Amino acid sequence: MRFVDEYRDPDAALAYARQLERLVTRDWTLMEVCGGQTHAIVKFGIDELLPKQVTLVHGPGCPVCVTPVEILEKAMAIASHPEVIFCSFGDMLRVPGQSRDLLAVKAAGGDVRIVYSPLDAVRLAAENPGREVVFLAVGFETTAPANAMAVAQAARADLGNFSMLVSHVLVPPALQAILAFPDNRVDAFLAAGHVCTVMGFTEYEDVARRHHVPIVVTGFEPLDLLMGVTMCVRQLEEGRAEVENQYARAVRRDGNQSAQAMIREVFEVVPRKWRGLGEIPASGLGLRPAYARFDAEGALRRGRPDRGGVERVPQRRGATRRAQAHRVRGVRCRLHARAAAGRDDGLRRGGVRGLPALSPPPRG
């Protein structure tokens, strides 16, 4: 496939490995922010190509892992309702809440459907006027334009039976949170390429300067990742801390302006809980008041449809960050199933590889 195969050239990969060997003079720890990059690193054995001085740690992962238990419980309560067609991306179906997952709800007779795009959920709502279609809107900035577009299309078509359960997360606040940990040992970041395709990377310029940390916007193919690592190591060895763009074929400095405009139209920045990390201020997106009628939680509160006891969902009050992180141990993600081969997946996996974010911040 064009723009895929050429970035898997083994000779070029070895050339990068040789360059790195030559460049590196001491130990460095790099964090790849995105779960998709972790997947590629493991799948292609990138970490085995790197000199032993370079350690890759797995970052905050991906929206699937960090979606809090409360949201999953709400999702399952909504999906259990007979009038609801509950739509989700496939990877969310196996993520456990307190005791079960969406797949179990489906097995118990809930109308839970996997959609490829949020726009498919909007279509379903148009085709099923007698049913309530609820979409579980999770994702990083990459997915936000699509979810915003779904709301805009539903608003345009004046669909009264479409709503979203929103648990959107933002990458830069998570990076800041990691950098703020006292025992942080990340020397440089591979920023998530597709997040930057949407948002650009001007936001990171300030982070790089303030924390004196190199940030390289990086793609997902083996050569992208090797080049991203090389650029990071070069900066570190030369004492620079800049934002560089390895993924220029897909990322412009200002990102995609019309996608950003759509996000701003529909969503606003809100505090958000991250599974395993706790609440981070201004780290998520929620629907703007003007679009509140598309908020599944609001729709249910208004009694549309009769809300099978959503409020009675027990909250995991007082769970410590550590305990929440432990709960994630059970997460087996299909997307990363192979990458995880025989190990616990998700944040736990990050813990195994020394994810600093897993240690709870000191009290007081």
Tell me which residues touch another protein (CB under 8 A). 1-4, 7, 11-12, 14-16, 18-19, 34-36, 62-64, 89, 91, 116-120, 138-140, 142-143, 145-146, 149, 152-153, 156, 192, 194-195, 197-198, 220, 223-224, 227, 230-231, 246, 248-252, 256, 258-259, 262, 335
Minimum Å gap between C-beta 312 and another protein is 30
Span from 58-66, 75-83, 145-153, 171-179 in contact with ligand SF4 (CB under 6 A): 58-66
305: preceding bond cis by omega (within 30 degrees): yes
Q: Among 78, 333, 355, 357, which residue sits at the site for ligand SF4 (rule: CB under 6 A)?
A: 333
Tokens of 293: 């009628």
Q: Does 169 bind ligand SF4 (CB under 6 A)?
A: no
Residue 201 CA: distances (Å) to CA of 31, 66, 74, 82: 17, 22, 34, 44
Span from 16-24, 57-65, 150-158, 351-359 in contact with ligand SF4 (CB under 6 A): 57-65
Query: Is residue 266 within 8 Å of residue 288, measured between CB atoms?
Result: yes
String of contacts with ligand SF4 for each residue 342-361, x by CB under 6 A:
---xx---------------
CB-hemisphere CA count at 13 Å for 51? 20
Query: Is residue 347 within 8 Å of residue 276, measured between CB atoms?
Result: yes
Query: Is residue 264 within 8 Å of residue 290, measured between CB atoms?
Result: no
Span from 20-28, 160-168, 262-270, 330-338 in contact with ligand SF4 (CB under 6 A): 330-338
Q: Among 113, 194, 336, 348, which residue sits at the site for ligand SF4 (rule: CB under 6 A)?
A: 336
Measure the CA–CA gap between 309 and 307, rounded to whole angstroms.
6
Minimum Å gap between C-beta 237 and ligand SF4 is 30
Q: 122: closest CA among 71, 160, 92, 169? A: 160
Q: Among 64, 188, 236, 262, which residue sits at the site for ligand SF4 (rule: CB under 6 A)?
A: 64
SS3 296: helix
Q: Does 65 bind ligand SF4 (CB under 6 A)?
A: yes
Span from 4-12, 216-224, 296-304, 328-336 in contact with ligand SF4 (CB under 6 A): 328-336
Query: Which burial class, exposed, middle or buried, applies to 238 when counting CB atoms under 10 A from its CB (0-12, 13-18, 19+)?
Result: exposed
